[in-house]
């Protein structure tokens, strides 16, 4: 049975790298008919925050990839201590009574490895069992450390699902802690104890944990547990190759930024999948089931995956392109349902019927859900901002032509049937009667009702706005043009 887990620590918001790890685990579980476990690694009580926990849940829920089981490490401390005790009793760990300095174990004056790295305190490592037991029963605080083999022969090896054969001499691994001096399990211990107890078959996580895996294998073996399979995922990096971080790169690394900007979760999931994984079919836009079907470790790269944001453009062009494609190809009724809350949150009072009418008009014009607020704002506002008179004037025309087009438009909109096709026919006919081009007829009307030249198709727009609003706006534009005409007349008189 395939069982995988995503194990975030609630010490920060959900990072896009974390989201990708979650997604790859989820895909692996679904591809193999296995279980996806969400485990909250909350043993670092000083750094945990409720806000981080909530942001992780919010981010993961938004991705809309449901997990099957949920655990919190803080509920499982007894198990962690039990495993620690078992390792201690086998003599494979020892108590380190070195006084803690500001929470950290004092690592000064100890054995150092080849690169000067701290390895162990000989004095603590060599304490007799009796002495160790005596000091512990006297209540002296201690950290529990793994007694890493110190001969020059022993190696820890494993075969990583992505990075292949890995091996490290134990002589280069420090006597890492299993329990901190406050009695809490370290990440290494808690993680291994839970992975074993939850029968995790595959650990799929970021490459930054690859080096930890040697320690984890030592723990599994010392506790008499079978290690799971491991697969490490390439790092996500900025265009300059730097590892993504909130401190350096800001909101672009946070999942909620994408949600709030109007990405669709399915498009965002699709985008994250392409960071470090190339599906065999070489397709980029892949709906969820296709991702599940295609997923395997084979297509995962070993090289870092670049997220292509820029200083002035926070979103990777591929993410935007994918999002626009998902928007363009989704049924309009569904898109309409997704747009409605965005419009409401911005304070506009659109009804579902109204939104359903507007959606097909803007579907090809938006890349992000939030674009509805700039592309379709004029549908929702009571009052348009003041016109730019130059925009009301048609190409190769003048204020007088704009006025004629608008006045004729007013007559048509006041009398013709108010459907797309009827408006289309009647406005074309009116242009013919005025002896002007259809474009010259439509532009002043479009600017009158939308407030700008660059706007969705005219007849559908008029239909969605309705007769009353359309006429009121044309009236306002007519007044605007008359004002220009008056100014021009005055200028003309002045120049005589």
By C-beta, is 231 or 366 nearer to ligand GLU? 231
Which residues face 237 on adjacent strands?
243, 306
Spatial separation of the C-alpha atoms in residues 341 and 329, rounded to whole Å: 20
- Nearest approach in angstroms of CB 19 to ligand GLU is 12
Spatial CB neighbours of 152, under 8 Å, sequence gap ≥ 6: 169, 171
Beta strands 35-40 and 69-72: pairing type? parallel
- Nearest approach in angstroms of CB 236 to ligand GLU is 14
Catalytic residue among 246, 248, 310, 396: 246
Q: Retrieve residue 405's tokens.
A: 């087009």
Q: For the chain, how many helices (H) and strands (E)?
A: 22, 16
By C-beta, is 56 or 375 nearer to ligand GLU? 56
- Nearest approach in angstroms of CB 146 to ligand GLU is 17
Spatial separation of the C-alpha atoms in residues 297 and 413, rounded to whole Å: 61
- Nearest approach in angstroms of CB 145 to ligand GLU is 20
By C-beta, is 214 or 418 nearer to ligand GLU? 214
Spatial separation of the C-alpha atoms in residues 205 and 230, rounded to whole Å: 8
Provide the 8-state DSSP code for 284: S
- Listed residue (219, 213, 211, 217) closest to 179, CA to CA: 219
- Nearest approach in angstroms of CB 265 to ligand GLU is 22
Spatial separation of the C-alpha atoms in residues 422 and 189, rounded to whole Å: 73
Q: Retrieve residue 440's tokens.
A: 């010259």
CA end-to-end span of the chain: 94
Spatial separation of the C-alpha atoms in residues 179 and 81, rounded to whole Å: 8
Angle of helix 438-450 versus helix 420-434 axis, rounded to 10: 130
- Nearest approach in angstroms of CB 203 to ligand GLU is 6
By C-beta, is 8 or 276 nearer to ligand GLU? 8
- Nearest approach in angstroms of CB 216 to ligand GLU is 8
Coil, strand or helix: which one is 200?
A: coil
Token look-up 């130059």 returns: 390
Which residues face 40 on adjacent strands?
72
By C-beta, is 231 or 376 nearer to ligand GLU? 231
Q: Retrieve residue 184's tokens.
A: 């809490």
Our CA angle for 374, 311, 307, nearest 5°, is 95
243 catalytic per annotation: no
By C-beta, is 15 or 95 nearer to ligand GLU? 15
- Three-state DSSP string of 311-376: CCCCCCHHHHHHHHHHHHHCCHHHHHHHHHHHHHHCCCCCCHHHHHHHHHHHHHHCCCHHHHHHHC
- Nearest approach in angstroms of CB 81 to ligand GLU is 19
By C-beta, is 209 or 429 nearer to ligand GLU? 209
Chain centre to alpha carbon of residue 76: 30
By C-beta, is 192 or 286 nearer to ligand GLU? 192
333-337, long-range: CB < 8 A, 24+ apart: 333/359, 335/359, 335/363
- Listed residue (347, 446, 440, 454) closest to 397, CA to CA: 440
- Nearest approach in angstroms of CB 58 to ligand GLU is 17
Spatial separation of the C-alpha atoms in residues 231 and 203, rounded to whole Å: 6
- Three-state DSSP string of 132-150: HHHHHHCCCCCEEEECCCC
Residues in contact with ligand GLU by CB under 6 A are: 7-9, 41, 191, 205, 209
By C-beta, is 305 or 449 nearer to ligand GLU? 305
Active-site residue set: 246
């Amino acid at each position: 049975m395939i069982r995988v887990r995503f194990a975030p620590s609630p010490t920060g918001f959900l990072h896009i790298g974390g989201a990708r790890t979650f997604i790859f685990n989820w895909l692996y579980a679904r591809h193999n008919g296995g279980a996806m476990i969400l485990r909250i690694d909350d043993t670092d009580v000083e750094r945990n925050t409720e806000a981080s926990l909530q942001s992780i849940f919010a981010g993961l829920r938004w991705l809309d990839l449901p997990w099957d089981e949920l655990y919190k490490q803080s509920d499982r401390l007894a198990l962690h201590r039990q495993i620690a005790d078992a390792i201690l009793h086998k003599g494979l760990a020892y108590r380190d009574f070195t006084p803690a300095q500001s929470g950290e174990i004092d690592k000064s004056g100890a054995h150092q490895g080849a690169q000067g790295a701290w390895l162990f305190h000989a004095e603590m490592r060599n304490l007799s069992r009796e002495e160790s037991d005596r000091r512990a029963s006297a209540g002296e605080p201690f950290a529990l450390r793994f007694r890493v083999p110190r001969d020059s022969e022993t190696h820890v090896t494993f075969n990583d699902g992505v990075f292949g054969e890995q091996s490290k001499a134990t002589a280069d691994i420090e006597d890492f802690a299993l329990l901190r001096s406050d009695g809490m399990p370290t990440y290494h211990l808690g993680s291994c104890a839970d992975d074993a107890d939850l029968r995790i078959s595959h650990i799929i996580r970021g490459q930054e944990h690859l080096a930890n895996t040697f320690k984890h294998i030592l723990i599994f073996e010392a506790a008499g547990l079978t290690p799971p399979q491991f697969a490490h995922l390439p790092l996500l990096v900025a265009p300059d190759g730097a590892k993504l971080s909130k401190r350096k790169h800001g909101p672009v690394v946070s999942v909620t930024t994408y949600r709030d900007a109007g990405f669709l979760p399915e498009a965002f999931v699709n985008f994250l999948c392409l960071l470090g994984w190339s599906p065999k079919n070489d397709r980029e836009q892949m709906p969820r089931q296709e991702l599940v079907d295609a997923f395997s470790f084979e297509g995962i790269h070993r090289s870092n995956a670049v997220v292509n944001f820029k200083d002035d453009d926070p979103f990777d062009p591929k993410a935007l392109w994918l999002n626009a494609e998902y928007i363009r190809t989704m049924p309009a009724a569904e898109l309409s349902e997704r747009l409605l809350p965005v419009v409401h949150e911005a304070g506009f009072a659109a009804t579902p019927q109204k939104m359903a009418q507007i959606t097909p008009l803007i579907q090809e014009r938006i890349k992000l859900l939030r674009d509805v607020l700039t592309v379709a704002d004029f549908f929702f506002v009571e009052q348009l901002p003041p016109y730019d008179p130059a925009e009301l004037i048609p190409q190769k025309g003048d204020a007088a032509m704009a006025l004629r087009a608008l006045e004729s438009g007013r007559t048509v909109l006041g009398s013709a049937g108010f459907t797309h096709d009827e408006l289309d026919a009647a406005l074309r006919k009116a242009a013919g009667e005025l002896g002007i081009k259809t474009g010259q007829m439509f532009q002043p009307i479009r600017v009158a009702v939308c407030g700008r030249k660059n706007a969705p198709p005219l007849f559908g727009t008029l239909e969605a706005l309705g007769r009353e609003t359309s006429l009121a706006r044309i009236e306002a534009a007519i007044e605007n043009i008359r004002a220009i005409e008056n100014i021009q007349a005055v200028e003309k008189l002045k120049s005589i």
